[in-house]
Amino acid sequence: MNYKENEAIKHLSGGVQLPTVSHTDYSLTDYTKFEEFINYVQTSYPVVFERLEFQRINNFGLLLTFKGADEALKPLLFTAHYDVVDIDKNTINQWQYEPFSGAVEEGYIWGRGSLDDKASLFGWLEAVKSLIEEGYTPKRTLCFAFGPDEEVGGQEGASKILKYLQEKYGEFEMILDEGGEIEQDKNGNLSAGIGICEKGRIVATVKIEQEGGHASRPAKNYSTINLARFITELHKNQMKQFLTPALSDYLDATYNNYDWYTKFLIKTKSIFTKCLLKRLSKEKSTDAMTRNTIAITMLKASDTINVIPEHVEITIDIRLLPGQNIEYVKNHLDKVAKKAIKGAKYEIDILSNGLPQVISSKNSEMFKILEKQIKKEFGDIEVLPAMVLGGTDSKTYEALSKNVFRFLPVILTDEEGSKMHSTNENISCDKYLKIIEFYKNLLKENF
């Protein structure tokens, strides 16, 4: 590696060492670490912050603007986020290197946020720095928006940046965020998925109120029994499957990857829709493309071991297909609750929701530019329109453009991708340098 490559790796490593953990309860977020992170990127990239206009939106939203030569052209928006999810304290001893060490070992950069999503943020900064040093001026104005709370919904970051960008520019030619990537299967075959839409997200709570008491004298039916019954019933009663237009396009594009029976069902999907959906439900990744998914992530009951609680509750993470709505979800939860909860009061609350509406066109000029650049950088691989199952800040920015795409230029195996939000998150140094190269060439050759 040359000096510049080592410097780029060092920059990302240093960024990972700053634990910018966001929390749903914003009062729990340690913003001193976010302040340190902002100071760190400014001192690491002085040429970028001197050349580009830098603004802090609502304190911790970061916006960099690279003014283009032709103001008649619509601007472009590139987004990333620098907040990360917290570490499960029970898994710390399972990490090969400390979760916020930023260790550069074994050819990898280790730590929370190394892949999701600081590699993208630092990748953009490195690319812009290199272009400035080469004397580059973009044709279009380029905006780089870096969010501080994407992992918890983006209410204080992307939402506030959106309002500013709407007032200043109105409309953007394209928005590019994280989301899709280049998948490598067990046989080494590569296929790139550009996210043209993403699933929405609802966070809901179900609270049960029932008479409690001493644990030595339990009733036949009490609050935690009701809660357990509700959870079991909810798991058994998954929401209905749908064959969305985005999924239909994806199946057509990936047709050659399936066995003969699945190929037959794809070819005849207008007739054998139910059979196809049943087939897709056998794998968790494809099943999630066909339905709204429900994951029970948080439970709350008694704080004392010998007390049957009067109040219990669960928090549910629900991911919605494009076009679905809150009422449909709430009605489903209520139907299950009426069946499962006996002799107790219950309450269903929707805490937050983000429902993306835009399905961007795979036939647009901007999609084709991304497709062309992917093939140039990674070889003549399949480039597919995809539905992103997780949430990104791009759903917030949808009001700015009809071309909203989600793609991180990195090759990931299933094992590597599974480390996001999990133990031993890392990114290989070579793959990180490839992200920088892709971003640089994308801007230099097209914009």
Query: What DSSP string describes 57-80?
Result: ETTTEEEEEE--S-TTSPPEEEEE
- Res 370: pLDDT: 98
Residues 108, 300: Cα–Cα separation, whole Å? 38
Tell me the whole-structure pTM to 2 decimals.
0.87
Angle at the Cα of 421 from the Cα atoms of 418 and 427, rounded to 5 degrees: 65
Helices (H), 341-428: 365-378, 414-417
- Res 234: pLDDT: 95
Tell me if 303 sits within 8 A of 283, measured CB to CB: no
H or E element at residue 192: strand 190-198
Say if strands 61-66 and 53-57 run parallel, antiparallel, or are unpaired: antiparallel
Tell me if 126 sits within 8 A of 37, measured CB to CB: no
Distances (CA, A) of 333 to 199, 310, 343: 19, 21, 17
User: Which domains does the chain possess?
Assistant: 3-178+385-446 (3.40.630.10), 200-354 (3.30.70.360)
- Res 400: pLDDT: 96
DSSP codes, 1-47: --HHHHHHHHHHHHHHTS--B--SSGGG--HHHHHHHHHHHHHH-HH
Residue 424, classified by CB atoms within 10 Å of its CB into exposed (0-12), middle (13-18) or buried (19+), is middle
- Res 11: pLDDT: 98
- Res 225: pLDDT: 95
Say if strands 311-320 and 293-300 run parallel, antiparallel, or are unpaired: antiparallel
Among 41, 30, 40, CA closest to 64: 41
- Res 359: pLDDT: 87
In tens digits, the chain (447 residues) has pLDDT values of 676 789 999 999 999 999 999 998 999 999 999 999 999 999 999 999 999 999 999 999 999 999 999 999 999 999 999 999 999 889 999 999 999 999 999 999 999 999 999 999 999 999 999 999 999 999 999 999 999 999 998 999 999 999 999 999 999 999 999 989 998 877 778 889 999 988 888 899 999 999 999 999 999 999 999 999 999 999 999 999 989 887 888 888 778 878 899 999 999 999 999 999 999 998 887 898 899 999 999 999 999 999 999 999 999 999 988 878 888 899 999 999 999 999 999 999 988 777 777 889 999 999 999 999 999 999 999 898 888 888 899 999 999 999 999 999 999 988 888 888 899 999 999 999 999 999 999 999 999
Q: Dihedral (C-alpha) 433, 383, 158, 173: value to the nearest 10 degrees?
A: 110
Residues 144, 192: Cα–Cα separation, whole Å? 23
- Res 256: pLDDT: 80
Tell me if 57 sits within 8 A of 122, measured CB to CB: no
- Res 1: pLDDT: 66
